[in-house]
Amino acid sequence: MKMLTVFTPTYNRAYCLEACYKSLVRQTCKDFIWLIIDDGSIDNTKDLVNSWIKENKIEIRYYWQENQGMHGAHNTAYELIDTELNVCIDSDDYMPEEAVEKITKFWSKYGSEKVSGMIGLDSYTNNEVIGTKLPEDRKSSTLFDLYNKHGVSGDKKLVYRTELTKQYPYPIFQNEKYVGLAYKYYMLDKQYEMLLMNEVLCCVEYLSDGSSLNMLNQYRKNPKGFAFYRKELMTLPFASVSFKFRQAIHYVSSSLLMNNKRFLKETPSKGLTVLAIPLGALLYVYITSKTRTAQS
């Protein structure tokens, strides 16, 4: 049994998937499986992947499903993965050639059931680390504390124990395609810390069609998913009042976007939500005005 599954959700990304494939072929350690979750592509992704499977250079598993959005692809991946560890590498990203070796060696040396996994670094394609590095004076932390207490910024690469990522599946809302992936990570933060590894595990190229640049449109199109996400974040026992208030603002705006008149009855924090109504209403106006062209 391999130790690691590298899984890649993809949707009509055949034009950029080859860089990811070539980086995996170059890995100095082959103790991994590449699982591709094709989230309803109508391009030549399937034919391309089948040609790589025939090359037989690395172990590849391919699964096609009707389009559900990134969180739906993650749900499917976690159902299918059977290795001890997993890491998501997006279709437009790639791994440095020693990344798998670093993950497996680090986990073999320090990993245990006391932690949920490990956190490594993302870099741009010019090798510049995205955001900050991880704190040198800590061996472990929750993901939440890294960003909210320890001053860490920028995307990081998360390697999780598979038995844990099978918990807390993302809800699927009809006609919506987005739920914040951090929902699962913060739920796991309630029970576990993660090991910190100041090594680049993934090289990232932000494409104009990537979800990183489309957040306002995501808010507009997926209000139920965002309302769920904000409600869950308001319940985090380790979150500050200011953090929960920001979630309440977004919860109000998402509730207005889906015309949910019961949002005050459904909120986990009625007081904060009432206080957040003015700013939430302003955010609602901002989102609708900025996305009007995209919706028309």
Overall average pLDDT of the 79-94 stretch = 97
Q: How many CA atoms lie within 13 A of 98 on its CB side?
A: 5
Instruction: Indicate if the pLDDT at residue 262 is higher than 90.
Output: yes
The pLDDT confidence band at residue 66, using thresholds 50, 70 and 90, is very high
Phi-psi region of 56 (alpha: psi -120 to 50; beta: other; left: phi over 0): left
Instruction: Indicate if the pLDDT at residue 293 is higher than 70.
Output: no
d(CA 83, CA 169): 18
Instruction: Indicate if the pLDDT at residue 296 is higher than 70.
Output: no
The mean of the pLDDT values for the chain is 95
d(CA 257, CA 5): 38
pLDDT digits (tens, 9 = 90+) for 154-205: 999 999 999 999 999 999 999 999 999 999 999 999 999 999 999 999 999 8
Residues listed for the chain? 296
Of 66-70, 76-80, 100-104, 279-283, the one with minimum mean pLDDT is 66-70
Overall average pLDDT of the 135-141 stretch = 97
Instruction: Indicate if the pLDDT at residue 292 is higher than 90.
Output: no
d(CA 98, CA 32): 12
Residue 42's pLDDT is 96
pLDDT digits (tens, 9 = 90+) for 239-249: 999 999 999 99
Query: Would strands 32-38 and 60-64 be described as parallel, antiparallel, or unpaired?
Result: parallel
Residue 53's pLDDT is 98
Residue 212's pLDDT is 44
Q: Are 155 and 121 in contact (CB under 8 A)?
A: no
pLDDT digits (tens, 9 = 90+) for 17-40: 999 999 999 999 999 999 999 999
Instruction: Indicate if the pLDDT at residue 233 is higher than 50.
Output: yes
**Which residues lie closer than 8 Å to 136 by C-beta, 6 or more apart?**
198
- Is the whole model's pTM more than 0.75, yes or no? yes
The pLDDT confidence band at residue 213, using thresholds 50, 70 and 90, is very low
Q: What angle do CA 114, 116, 118 make, to 5 degrees?
A: 110
Domains of the chain, start order:
4-212 (3.90.550.10), 214-290 (no CATH)
d(CA 120, CA 158): 6
d(CA 231, CA 38): 30
Which letter does DSSP use for residue 169 in this model? Answer: P
Query: Would strands 156-161 and 4-10 be described as parallel, antiparallel, or unpaired?
Result: unpaired
Overall average pLDDT of the 219-227 stretch = 97
Instruction: Indicate if the pLDDT at residue 210 is higher than 70.
Output: no
Q: How many CA atoms lie within 13 A of 149 on its CB side?
A: 10
Phi-psi region of 206 (alpha: psi -120 to 50; beta: other; left: phi over 0): beta
Q: How much of the chain exceeds pLDDT 90, in percent?
A: 93
